[in-house]
Amino acid sequence: MDYIAQGFIRSIELLLSGDHETYSAIFTTLRISSLSIIASLIIGIPFGFLLGYFEFPGKRQVRAVVDTLLALPTVVVGLFVYAFISRRGPCGELGILFTISGIAVAQTILITPIVISLTATAVESLDRRLRATLVALGARGRQILITSLMEARYAVLVAAVTAYGRAISEVGISMMIGGNIKWHTRTITTAIALETGKGDFAVGMALGIVLLTFALVVNSSLTLLKKRS
Amino acid sequence: MKMVLKKVCVVACAMVCLIGLSGNAAIADDVLKMATTTSTDNTGLLDYLAPVFKADTGIELQWVAVGTGKALALGGNCDVDVLLVHAPAAEMTYVQEGSGIDRTELMYNDFVFIGPPSDPAGVKGTSVKDALGVIASKKASFASRGDNSGTHQKELELWEHAQLAVPDKETWYIQTGQGMMNTINIAAERDAYTLTDRGTYIKYESNWKGKAPLVILVEGDASLRNQYSAIAVNPQKCSNVKYDLAKRFIAWMASDKTQKLIADFELMGKQLFIPNAK
Partners of A197 on chain B (C-beta within 8 Å) are: 178-179, 181-182, 185
**In terms of residue numbers, what domain contains B104?**
31-109+227-275
Q: Given this model, what pLDDT does residue B3 score?
A: 54
Which of A34, A157, A198 lies nearest to residue B42, judging by beta carbons? A198
Nearest residue of B to residue A26 by CA position? Answer: B19
Same domain for B154 and B213, yes or no, is yes
Same domain for B220 and B235, yes or no, is no
Q: Given this model, what pLDDT does residue B18 score?
A: 53
Q: What phi and psi, each to the nearest 5 degrees, are found at residue B193?
A: -85, 155
Looking at the complex, report in whole angstroms how far the Cα of residue B23 sits from the nearest Cα belonging to chain A.
6
The HSE-up count of residue B56 (CA atoms within 13 Å, CB side) is: 15
Domain regions of chain A by residue span: 2-228
Residue B220 CA, distance from chain mean position: 21
Partners of B182 on chain A (C-beta within 8 Å) are: 197-198
Nearest residue of A to residue B41 by CA position? Answer: A182
Chain A within 8 Å of B268 (Cβ-Cβ)? no
CATH 3.40.50.720 fits A2-228, yes or no: no
Same domain for B184 and B114, yes or no, is yes
Partners of A155 on chain B (C-beta within 8 Å) are: none
In a domain, B35, yes or no: yes
Which of A35, A97, A221 lies nearest to residue B79, judging by beta carbons? A97
- The pLDDT tens digits of the residues spanning B138-175 come to 999 999 999 899 999 999 999 999 999 999 889 999 99
Kindly report the three-state secondary structure assignment for every residue of chain B: CHHHHHHHHHHHHHHHHHHHHHHHHCCCCCEEEEEECHHHHHCCHHHHHHHHHHHHHCCEEEEEECCHHHHHHHHHCCCCCEEEECCHHHHHHHHHCCCEEEEEEEEEEEEEEEECCCCCCCCCCCCHHHHHHHHHHHCCCEEECCCCCHHHHHHHHHHHHCCCCCCCCCCCEEECCCCHHHHHHHHHHCCCEEEEEHHHHHHHHHHCCCCCCCEEEECCCHHHEEEEEEEEECCCCCCCCCHHHHHHHHHHHHCHHHHHHHHHCEECCEECCEECCC
Chain B within 8 Å of A57 (Cβ-Cβ)? no
Question: Minimum mean pLDDT among A11-25, A127-141, B88-102: which range?
Answer: A127-141
Chain A within 8 Å of B51 (Cβ-Cβ)? no
| Cβ pair B19:A31 closer than 8 A | yes
In a domain, B9, yes or no: no
**Number of structural domains chain B divides into:** 2
Which of B200, B224, B248 delimits the end of a domain? Answer: B224
Same domain for B129 and B215, yes or no, is yes
Which residues is B142 bridged to in the sheet? B173, B193
Residue B150 CA, distance from chain mean position: 8
Question: Quick check: B19 pLDDT over 80?
Answer: no
- The pLDDT tens digits of the residues spanning A122-168 come to 999 988 888 889 888 888 888 888 998 999 999 999 999 999 999 99
| Cβ pair A88:B78 closer than 8 A | yes
Same domain for B131 and B195, yes or no, is yes
Same domain for B220 and B254, yes or no, is no
Binned at pLDDT 50, 70 and 90, residue B14 comes out as: low
In a domain, B103, yes or no: yes
Same domain for B69 and B134, yes or no, is no
Interface of A with B in 173-192 (CB under 8 A): 179-184
Question: Quick check: B22 pLDDT over 80?
Answer: no
Residue B82: give its domain's CATH number: 3.40.190.10
Question: Quick check: B116 pLDDT over 60?
Answer: yes
| Cβ pair A181:B64 closer than 8 A | yes
Size of interface A-B (CB pairs under 8 A): 70
Whether the CB-CB separation of A169 and A182 falls below 8 Å is answered with no
In a domain, B240, yes or no: yes
Question: Quick check: B25 pLDDT over 50?
Answer: no
Partners of B185 on chain A (C-beta within 8 Å) are: 197-199
Binned at pLDDT 50, 70 and 90, residue B29 comes out as: low
Looking at the complex, report in whole angstroms how far the Cα of residue B186 sits from the nearest Cα belonging to chain A.
9
Same domain for B150 and B193, yes or no, is yes
